[in-house]
Chains A and B, each alone.
Chain A
Amino acid sequence: MAQVFAYILHKDGVVDDTALELAAAAKKIDAGATPNAIVVGAGDALDGVCNDMAASYGEVWKVANDALTYPDAEIVRKLLANILPADSIVLFAHEHLGMDLAPGLSVKLDAAFVPDVVDIEGADGSTLKLVRQEFGGAVSAHVTCDASQGAVMTIRPGVFAADESKSAGGQVVDKSADAGDFAATRKFLEIVEAEAGDVDITKSEVLVSCGRGIEDEENLEIAFDLAKAMGADVSCSRPIVDAKWLPKARQVGTSGQTVKPKVYLACGISGSFQHMGGIKGNPFIVAINKNAKAPIFQVADVGIVTDMLDFLPELTEKIEEL
């Protein structure tokens, strides 16, 4: 089996949670092998990140350069194409950098590409047996990947339990000299921070959250009425923000806010992994959805199969009577 590499996300010297999840994923490809890590960046904190990773990976390939102070996918893709051996298996977290970087890298390496992998069932020779999801998580699919000329995969964050064994006893190898030049045809300018909203849903203990099931902007009133009766705040899923019915500051999910309420009422929300990725702290989740097959019912504590538009006003009335 080919050598497995994991691309390590880190920021300000702190390693992302996905770093050890990728180590676990690598071992599901080949339990006996020791995966390598790739750490790119700049500054004093980089060596700390590399040393941390040496506990979990056999070799930690370091590329240090001031051009990598902010990880621009184009620059990183180019250097990875220069340093990776032919036929490698390369793992990324399926988040915004991986999505920007990995598909093009697979072309540059002439390797197979499998995005958003949620499970790895093993390898049969150089054929990897993987699991993906389609249609917003409504169904799963078995996928085979011919990795004989290498493979690039993005791994969904949170699906593999982090490999905390830290028994690799690895070493840091400086590959900076092999990385090539750092020229780019796109230029990183800045990060624009999200605007603060009228309500800080990250501090809310109880959230009434609405999704597509709200159907119309005017219907938002029933969510606000229920939230008022419960002493809760109103949050939402992505389609509501895309439609400009509520501001981005009220969006729960990986591209929105990360909330940690005690109680989360998911109303007309299907429960995509991007949405659920924004809910932390193991709240009590109530799902209200007219589609009995909505993925949200798999992760909720309590489910009610009904149209939120009929149900919410009745629930509000009952709570107001208490």
Chain B
Amino acid sequence: MEILVCVKRVPDTSENEIELNGAGNDIDRDDLVYSVNEWDNYAVEEALQIVDKVGGSVTVISVGDDESEEVLRREMAMGADKGILLSDDAFENVDGRGIATILKAAVEKGNYDLIFTGAQADDGAAQVGGMLAAMLDVPFASLVNTIEVNGDKLKIGREIEGGNQEMYEISLPCVLSIQTGINEPRYVGIRGIRKVASVEIPTLGAADLGLDAAAVGASAARVQRTDYFLPEMGDGAEILEGSTEEIIDKLVELLKAKGGLK
């Protein structure tokens, strides 16, 4: 089984507070700590477990700048066999459709049975996997939280509401978007990173992929973010202040009044 996993370098929200910059039109990107999108780790782990069972290889791929190479290397330290970076000035500020178009061109240069994306990334869009499948004209399932290989077919579960699961039989090749919780991604130590530090990661640009830069780039993006802002919400919470003791006294009174203590 040849598996391709699409990964993305994102600001790590557990390491950063995401705030607006001084001008209020973008997030403050100074000193942001980046890491691999959380969902993608589950996707890579699932690919590795499938290859452990049925054989094959795992390739990780990312659309991004040079710094995305560290993310590919991290996933290779988990056990992925190959990394491919798709990078070009023309790929800056593309929309989701543009990312899927770039990935499609790269997929067609390989011979993959199965393609994974994370179910979503930092922008919460959850769009690239479904678009990529439609462009490749192969089956797709999102929010996948179990996979069982049965010959040239997969039995998969999708996470739906209420903790229930929708089961499908799906034929290969296909694209699946992987939900967190499907497995327990393995730990990557510093030694693992060192082992793959000098492995060459090929970089492909628009020309290598046979893409017309004008057709995938920012000028072709029909969906564009114009700015970031903080929404005006309602009153928000009443923040309890004072010493811990004072806060606890206030909270206990409130809990009593609202039926929170039995």
Known: A139-B20, A189-B168, A297-B236. A262 touches B226 (CB 8 A): no
Bound-complex Cα distance A96 to B238 (A): 34
CB within 8 Å: A-B pair count: 259
Q: Interface segment, A30-38, A53-61, A242-250? A: A242-250
Task: Find out whether the CB atom of A255 lies under 8 angstroms from the CB atom of B17.
Answer: no
Complexed CA–CA distance, A257 and B162 (Å): 5
Decide: A136 near B13, CB < 8 A? Known: A103-B134, A192-B157.
Answer: yes
A57–B89 CA distance with the chains assembled, in angstroms:
46
Number of interface residues of B (CB under 8 A): 80
Is the pair A145, B222 in contact by a Cβ cutoff of 8 Å?
A: yes
Complex partner residue of B124 from A115, A185, A291, A298, CB under 8 angstroms = A115
Q: Is A188's CB under 8 angstroms from B166's CB?
A: yes
Within 8 Å CB of A8, what residues of B? Answer: none
Mark out the residues of chain A between 118 and 154 whose CB falls within 8 Å of any chain B CB in the assembled complex: 131-136, 138-146, 149
Contacting residues, chain B, for A115 (C-beta < 8 A): 96, 124-127
B237 CB–A CB distance under 8 Å: yes
Contacts of A96 in B (CB 8 A): 142-143, 158-161, 166
CB contacts (< 8 Å) of A105 on chain B: these are: 134
Stretch at the interface among B1-9, B108-116, B193-201, B245-253: B245-253
B262, CB-defined interface residue at 8 Å: yes
Asked if A258 lies at the interface with its beta carbon under 8 angstroms from chain B, I say yes
Interface segment, A19-27, A164-172, A174-182, A299-307? A299-307
Taking a contact as CB atoms under 8 Å apart, the answer to whether B140 and A100 are in contact is yes
CA distance A297 to B126 in the complex (A): 26
Q: Is A10 an interface residue (CB 8 A)?
A: no
A113-B223, A191-B164, A315-B248 known; A231-B262 Cβ under 8 A: yes
* A190 proximal to B (CB < 8 A): yes
Which residues on B sit within 8 Å (CB–CB) of A315?
A: 248, 251-252
Chain B residues whose CB sits within 8 angstroms of the CB of A72 once the complex forms: 168
Interface range on chain A (Cβ under 8 Å from partner) = 35 or more
User: Which residues from chain B contact A104 at a C-beta distance below 8 Å?
Assistant: 130-131, 133-134, 140
- A103 contacts B127, CB within 8 Å? yes
Inter-chain CA distance A144–B229, complex, in Å, is: 14
Chain B residue at smallest Cβ distance from A192 = B165
Find the residue from B124, B133, B181, B248 having the highest chain A CB count within 10 A.
B124
* CB under 8 Å from chain A, chain B span 93-108: 96-97, 100
- Measured in the bound complex, the distance between the Cα atoms of B140 and A296 in whole Å is 34
What mask results when residues 174 to 191 of chain B are scored 1 for a CB within 8 Å of chain A, else 0?
Answer: 100000110010000000
Are the C-beta atoms of B159 and A255 separated by less than 8 Å? yes
Residues on B with C-beta less than 8 A from A143 are 223-226
Q: Is the CB of B255 within 8 A of A106?
A: no
Contact of A138 among B13, B127, B160, B164 (CB under 8 A): B13
Interface residues of A in 161-214 (CB under 8 A from B): 184-195, 205-206, 212
Say whether A303 contacts B240, CB under 8 Å.
yes
CB-CB under 8 A from B228, the residues of chain A are 134, 139-141
**B contact residues around A251 at 8 Å (CB):** 163
Contacting residue for B143 out of A100, A190, A194, A212, CB 8 A: A100
Q: What residues of B have a CB within 8 angstroms of the CB of A286 in the complex?
A: 251, 254-255, 260
- Would you call B151 an interface residue if the criterion is a C-beta within 8 Å of the partner chain's C-beta atoms? no
| Residues of A245-298 contacting chain B, CB below 8 A | 248-249, 251, 254-258, 262-263, 265, 284-287, 291, 293, 296-298
Q: Are B163 and A142 in contact (CB under 8 A)?
A: no
Is A62 positioned at the interface, with any CB of B under 8 Å from its CB? no
- Cross-chain pairs A/B with CB under 8 angstroms, 21 sampled: A103-B96, A107-B97, A108-B134, A115-B127, A132-B124, A136-B13, A138-B17, A139-B18, A141-B225, A142-B229, A145-B223, A186-B171, A205-B259, A262-B259, A263-B255, A284-B260, A303-B236, A303-B240, A304-B240, A306-B244, A318-B248
Interchain residue pairs A-B with the least CB separation, the first 5: A231-B262, A103-B130, A194-B163, A303-B237, A263-B260
Other 12 A-B pairs with CB < 8 A, given A136-B13, A298-B234: A100-B142, A107-B100, A107-B135, A138-B13, A140-B228, A146-B223, A186-B139, A206-B259, A297-B236, A302-B251, A304-B247, A315-B251
